[in-house]
Amino acid sequence: MSFTKPAIDIDAQIVLLRARGLTITDEDRAHHYLRFIGYYRLSGYALVFQVNYNTDGSHRFHPGTNFDDILDLYIFDRKLRLAVLDALERIEVAIRASLSHEMSIIHGTHWFMNAALFVPNYDHASFLEHAKKEIGHDPARAHARQVFIQHYYDKYGDPELPPSWMVFEVLSFGTVSQVFKKLKRENQKPIAKVFGLDGGVLASWLHAISYLRNLVAHHQRLWNRSFTIKPIPAKRYADDLKDPMRFYAQAVIIQALLKIIAIDSQWSQRLAQLMAEHPKVPIHRMKFPADWQTREIWLP
């Protein structure tokens, strides 16, 4: 089957939306947002306002639906991504620091170069090649080196790579997550203990967080998303992780880690305020329970 849908200009997009039953009271406003957000991106937020959008494909809007209803949902989701990004920054920094510190204290500054610390099926050689590329180990990539990496190469020649705390500042969080996952269980344990978790649970959570971070970095929708990477429900948080495919589960693991990493974090209050600012947003589609703010995980 060949794709034959033509692109249509913004005026035609407004005509189409109105023909499907959407109320547009301020045409100039709608024109502005359709130009600078895009019809396709906004359509992802319009689906819940449409009749049987999963079945008949007619895209007819429920009576009384306004363009501002769709825009409000989009703005809520954009603010949610910003709140998540702020929280993930703290978590990423804490994970990098804890992983590097615990392993360096026990196994030395260049522990990551020792394949014996990892599970047998880990392609350790490929990891080292990837790490070398990321830090600019090859002199031909010296221009890409961070200042602290360059300082190491200027001053030292052995070992061939900088110490853990330098290397792990440069690696992507996805790589950091995989490194932790592939450590032997006895090596995961002291790091996971810092966060009050089992090694396998923390590995699962880091994988989920890495995936969430990629979604946020690429401006993907969080509201009403079904997450393919699901965090393992630790016993302590089992009641709040019953549906690991929805955003509420992602929020719970963020909150659980923040309560250890950043005692003064007001992330739960920020979420509550965001929802109060957008009362029309159906948060049940993210699986937030009606009493979520009074649950133990969200209390100071």
Q: Which of 65, 85, 100 is the last residue of a domain?
A: 65
pLDDT at 58: 76
Range of the domain at 25: 10-65
Same domain for 56 and 81: no
Asked whether residue 99 is domain-assigned, the answer is yes
Same domain for 103 and 54: no
Asked whether residue 2 is domain-assigned, the answer is no
Q: What pLDDT, in 10s, does the model give residues 113-172?
A: 999 999 999 999 999 999 999 999 999 989 989 999 999 999 999 999 999 999 999 999
Asked whether residue 70 is domain-assigned, the answer is no
Q: What pLDDT, in 10s, does the model give residues 208-247?
A: 999 999 999 999 999 999 999 999 999 999 999 999 999 9
What is this structure's pTM?
0.93
Each as own residue / partner, the long-range contacts of residues 185-194 (CB below 8 Å, 24 or more positions apart, any chain) are: 187/103, 187/106, 187/107, 187/117, 190/102, 190/106, 191/98, 191/99, 191/102, 191/103, 194/98, 194/102, 194/260
Asked whether residue 51 is domain-assigned, the answer is yes
Q: At 56, is the pLDDT very low, low, confident or very high (cuts 50, 70, 90)?
A: low
In eight-state DSSP terms, residue 61 is B
Asked whether residue 37 is domain-assigned, the answer is yes
Q: At 272, is the pLDDT very low, low, confident or very high (cuts 50, 70, 90)?
A: very high
Domain count of the fold of the chain = 2
Same domain for 220 and 173: yes
Same domain for 42 and 147: no
